Amino acid sequence: MKALFNEFKAFIAKGDVMSMAVGIIVGSAFTAIVTSLNQDILTPILGLILGKVDFSTLSLRVGDASVMYGNFIQAVITFLITALTLFFILKAFNRMTKKEEAKKSEEPAPVPADIQLLTEIRDLLKEEK
């Protein structure tokens, strides 16, 4: 049992698990931002354009049951707006990342001090011969 606990402890302490946990937490916070953008900014603007249409009230009576197909339409619209928002955010992020990578590739990497010292020693030894 102790070996199993130690194995589990080693698994939890791995960097991959911690990175995944941080990603989930940041993802949750990002979800709140995208949800607010969708519900508080984009959906009202879409409502103005479409004449304040609210699909969530649409339903179909089948016997005693009420099929709320309007909620499904509203969920699809919300999904499409969210996907479009994420597309543009990721497109901007990728553009910014490419610019940073281009800057890094243009600048030569600095030579570490130990390599520089070894190069100088090599050159001095060549001069003595």
State whether 11 and 61 are in the same domain: no
State whether 44 and 103 are in the same domain: no
70 near 76, Cβ under 8 Å?
Answer: no
Q: What total of structural domains would you count in the chain?
A: 2
State whether 46 and 94 are in the same domain: no
Extended beta strands in 53-122, E state:
60-62, 65-67
The structure tokens 């339903």 sit at 59
State whether 82 and 32 are in the same domain: no
State whether 101 and 47 are in the same domain: no
State whether 33 and 59 are in the same domain: no
Query: Terminus-to-terminus CA distance in the chain, angstroms?
Result: 67
**47-106: pLDDT as tens digits:** 788 776 677 778 889 889 989 888 888 888 888 888 888 888 889 989 988 877 777 767
CB-based contacts of 47, cutoff 8 Å, min separation 6: 53, 54
pTM, rounded to two decimals: 0.50
CA 31 to CA 26: how far, in whole Å? 9
State whether 22 and 60 are in the same domain: no
Domain that holds residue 42: 1-53
